[in-house]
Structure 1
Amino acid sequence: MHEFVVRGKKGCFVQITIEEAFDFPNMTSHFGGYDVRGIVEIKSGNYYLKGQLWFSTGEVYQFYDQLIRCMADLDGIAALINSEVNLKLEVKFNKRGQVIIEGYFKEFAHEGNELIFEIESDQSFFVETLDGLKQIVNHYGDMKGICPK
């Protein structure tokens, strides 16, 4: 089981855990990498949710790649939006090292229930995030996955 967490101030966070990777390592997803089923947990202010999430490891790879560039420049936006568009996670950096994490989660895209969140952070929280993402990328590969041995 692999996971990564995006932390913010006041104990707030977004954590994504991969519970099952389908057809790994033999068949890749048309979204890149491998199709996976996971769990998302979000704590923002007094709000907390835990829900099921379908996404691809290719989407995680793209988020990791964007986040590395944002950290290097201390500027830009790294976004993770899953193929079902029920999770949007944007990490916005500015030149002073401040970071805003914002987005939404809808358990079912066709229903009106959704949590819209915004979390204050700074670049010091992202060493842990990059470590978790790097473990996922090392295990599942990039948009093309990995070649079975």
Structure 2
Amino acid sequence: MYVFFLRGNQGCFVRITFDEVFGFPKLTSPFGGYDVRGTVEIKSGNYCVKGELWFSTGEIYEFYNQLSRCFTELKGISSFCTTEANLKLEVAFGHRGQVVIEGYFKEFAHRDNELKFEIESNQSFFVETLDGLREIISHYGDLKGKRFE
């Protein structure tokens, strides 16, 4: 089971866990990589949510590349949005290592019940995030997946 965190100040976080990966290593997803059923947990201030999530390892690969570039350059915005658009994250790197994680989570797309959140963070928290994402990519590969002969 793979997991990665986006940590913020005062114990706030976003945690995404891989519960089941479909098709690995032979059948890739139309969204790149492999389809994943996972869990998202968000703690922002006094608000907490936990719910099911569907995404692809290809989307994780693209998010990692954006996040890595922003981390290195100390500027820019990296985005992660699931194919069902029930989770959206934007990680904005500002000057002096300040980072803001904004987004929303909707358990069901057809209902107007959603958590919008903003988590203040800093660059030092993202070493762990990038390490976790790198481990996932090393196992599942890029947008084309990782086919073993």
TM-score, length-normalised on structure 2? 0.99
CA distance in 2, matches of 1:125, 1:11: 11
Q: Distance in 1 between matches of 2:147 and 2:35?
A: 16
User: 1:33 maps to what in 2?
Assistant: 33
Distance 1:7 1:21 in 2: 24
Structure 2 CA distance for aligned equivalents of residues 53 and 148 of structure 1: 27
SS at match of 2:95: coil
Alignment of 1:15 onto 2:15? yes
Q: Within 5 Å, which residues of 2 pair with 1:1-149?
A: 1-149=1-149
Unaligned runs of 5+ in 2: none
Which stretch of structure 1 is more off in the superposition, 92-101 or 38-47? 92-101
Matched AA of 1:67: L
Q: Which amino acid aligns with 2:93?
A: F
Query: What secondary structure sits across from 2:101 in the alignment?
Result: strand
- Quote the Cα distance in structure 1 between the aligned partners of 2:118 and 2:95: 19
Aligned length: 149
Give CA-to-partner distance per residue, 1:84-135, whole Å, 9 cap, x none.
0000011000122100000000001111100000000000000110111011
Runs of 4+ in 1 over 4 A off after TM superposition: none
Q: Matched residues in 2 for 1:50 and 1:134: separation?
A: 24
C-alpha separation between the residues in 2 aligned to 1:106 and 1:62? 22
Q: What percentage of residue pairs aligned between the two structures are identical? A: 66
Q: Which amino acid aligns with 1:111?
A: R
1:7-43 CA deviation, whole Å, 9 max, x = no partner?
A: 0000000000001001111100010000010000000
- The one-letter amino acid paired with 2:146 is I
Unpaired stretches in structure 1, ≥5 consecutive residues: none
Paired letter, 2:71: M
